[in-house]
């Protein structure tokens, strides 16, 4: 049986453990008496050792520890975000010293230009904590030390065990949601800020390799480089994979010029081809259509795909990914592009990922709608 400090009510502490597991769906354990600090009566902690490596990746660490001290204060504390010195050095080649005054939020504006991603993350954490305090009636604070973390607490003196449990539930739920919301922000908005402001160096050959790897990961097909006039880099599906007509062909061709990056899908008219023979026939007809368009105009040529259906999907995906996408008139191909401006390599990789994922989702949604219409 796990030891609990003699001042603690063993049954109550187990109720706290069970409550946290019910709130988070994650495993908790009770800290052994020998491991408690002198002022701590009891402690319950998130037990990562009971999880697999894959499960740990998505772990919500908002309620990492719950403790009660000998003054009757019950605290819910998160795990730390990261080491400020490491982030500053790795992302911006800036060497902060331990206990540097960057950790004083009154100096955040002073360091914004040097470490913009870091400051943005800390500000987001504090803003989200304040929003949760209003929602739950808690007092979550960002403790911006070398390893920033979140904490909320309340005085439990004179409370019954049921009252304590209700307060613990409120504070634990608030911390859990705060961590989840901050993690979502960091994964999306924060990651974009880092990608576009990092000073990490990436050689051209390393960049090309990353583009190829990323396209393969996002699309699920191997891309090979090809020579195209007016491009710095061009890549298309490997010919050995082109007969996989059931694959998502939302990104079929990639081009990078001096000022722009463009990605194009395969012909949408082939999206529901039932065989490689049908696919090739549609492609052949598409080539003939382009010739007729040159002579007659796009309005005189019919398409297999309903343009209104495509437009509906495109608008939805544009809004979701905050990009621009269009349908070419001469060959019913989706196109997504962005201006490189002064983007550094990691900034370009971020935008490539976002636009590629948008094209892949658009292709998938259009195919679902086409097949749904067929069954109806």
pLDDT band at 275 (very low <50, low <70, confident <90, very high): confident
* Tally of CB atoms within 10 A around 336: 28
Residue tagged 């393969």 (tokens): 216
Confidence label for 187 from pLDDT (cuts 50, 70 and 90): very high
Mean per-residue pLDDT over the chain, rounded: 88
pTM of the model: 0.79
**Which of 33-47, 151-165, 222-236 comes out lowest in average pLDDT?**
33-47
For residue 288, pLDDT beyond 90 = no
Distances from the Cα of 287 to the Cαs of 99, 281, 298, in angstroms?
66, 10, 13
Rounded to whole angstroms, the Cα distance separating 356 from 262 reads 10
Region 14-33: mean pLDDT is 94
As a whole-number percent, the residues of the chain with pLDDT over 70 amount to 90
DSSP 265: -
Task: Indicate if the pLDDT at residue 98 is higher than 90.
Answer: no
Label residue 173 by pLDDT band (50, 70, 90).
Answer: very high
What per-residue confidence (pLDDT) applies to 300? Answer: 41
The pLDDT of residue 94? 87
pLDDT of residue 111: 86
Q: Are 330 and 298 in contact (CB under 8 A)?
A: yes
- pLDDT tier at 296, thresholds 50, 70, 90: very low
The closest alpha carbon to 58, from 244, 211, 184, belongs to 184
111 C-beta neighbours (distance < 10 Å), count: 18
Does the structure show a pLDDT above 70 at 3?
Answer: no
Contact between 36 and 42 (Cβ < 8 Å): yes
Q: Does pLDDT of 258 surpass 70?
A: yes
Category of 332 on φ-ψ map: left (φ > 0), alpha (ψ -120 to 50) or beta:
left
| Per-residue model confidence (pLDDT) at position 304 | 59
Query: Residue 35 — very low, low, confident or very high, per pLDDT cuts 50/70/90?
Result: confident
Inform me whether the pLDDT recorded for 265 exceeds 90: yes
Torsion of Cα atoms, 99 then 102 then 106 then 110, to 10°: 150
Q: What is the pLDDT of residue 2?
A: 45
pLDDT of residue 299: 44
State the pLDDT at residue 290: 47
Q: E-assigned strands of 227-360?
A: 233-237, 253-256, 260-264, 325-327, 334-339
pLDDT tens digits along 305-350: 788 889 999 999 999 999 999 998 777 899 999 999 889 999 999 9
Give the pLDDT band (50/70/90) at residue 150.
Answer: very high
Confidence of residue 97 (pLDDT cuts 50, 70, 90): low
Task: Say if residue 211's pLDDT is above 60.
Answer: yes
Measured CA to CA, the distance from residue 52 to residue 85 in angstroms comes to: 29
**Domains, the chain, ordered by start:** 10-197 (no CATH), 204-375 (3.30.1460.10)
HSE toward the beta carbon, residue 313, CA cutoff 13 A: 24
Of the pLDDT bands very low, low, confident and very high (cuts 50, 70, 90), residue 7 is low
The distance from CA 372 to its chain's CA centroid, rounded to whole angstroms, is 30
Assign 230 a pLDDT band (cuts: 50, 70, 90). Answer: very high
């Amino acid at each position: 049986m796990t030891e609990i400090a003699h001042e603690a009510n063993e049954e109550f502490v187990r109720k706290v453990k069970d409550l946290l597991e019910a709130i988070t769906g994650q495993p908790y354990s009770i800290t052994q008496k020998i491991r408690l600090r002198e002022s701590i009566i009891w402690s319950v902690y998130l037990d990562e050792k009971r999880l697999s490596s894959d499960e740990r990746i998505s772990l919500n660490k908002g309620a990492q520890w719950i403790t009660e001290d000998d003054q009757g204060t019950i605290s819910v504390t998160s795990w730390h975000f990261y080491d400020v010195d490491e982030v500053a050095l790795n992302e911006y080649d800036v060497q902060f010293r331990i206990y540097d005054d960057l950790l004083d939020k009154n100096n955040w504006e002073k360091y914004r230009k040097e470490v913009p991603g870091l400051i943005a993350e800390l500000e987001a954490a504090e803003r989200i904590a304040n929003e949760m305090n209003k929602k739950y009636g808690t007092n979550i604070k960002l403790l911006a030390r070398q390893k920033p973390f979140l904490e909320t607490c309340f005085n439990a003196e004179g409370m019954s065990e049921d009252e304590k449990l209700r307060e613990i539930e409120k504070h634990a739920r608030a911390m859990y949601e705060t961590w989840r919301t901050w993690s979502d922000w960091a994964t999306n908005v924060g990651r974009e800020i880092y990608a576009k402001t990092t000073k990490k160096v990436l050689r051209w050959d390393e960049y090309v390799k990353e583009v190829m790897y990323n396209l393969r990961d996002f699309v699920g097909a191997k891309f090979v480089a090809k020579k195209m006039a007016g491009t710095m880099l061009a890549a298309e599906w490997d010919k050995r994979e082109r007969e996989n007509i059931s694959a998502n062909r939302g990104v079929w061709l990639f081009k990078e010029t001096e000022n722009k990056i463009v990605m194009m899908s395969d012909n949408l008219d082939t999206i529901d081809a039932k065989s490689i023979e049908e696919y090739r026939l549609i492609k052949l007809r598409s080539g003939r259509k382009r010739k007729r368009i040159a002579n007659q105009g796009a309005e005189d040529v019919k398409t297999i795909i309903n343009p209104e259906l495509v437009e509906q999907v495109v608008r939805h995906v544009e809004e979701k990914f905050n990009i621009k996408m269009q349908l070419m008139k001469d060959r019913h191909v989706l196109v997504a592009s962005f201006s490189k401006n002064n983007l550094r390599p990691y900034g370009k990789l971020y935008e490539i990922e976002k636009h590629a994922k948008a094209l892949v989702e658009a292709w998938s949604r259009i195919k679902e709608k086409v097949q749904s219409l067929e069954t109806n």
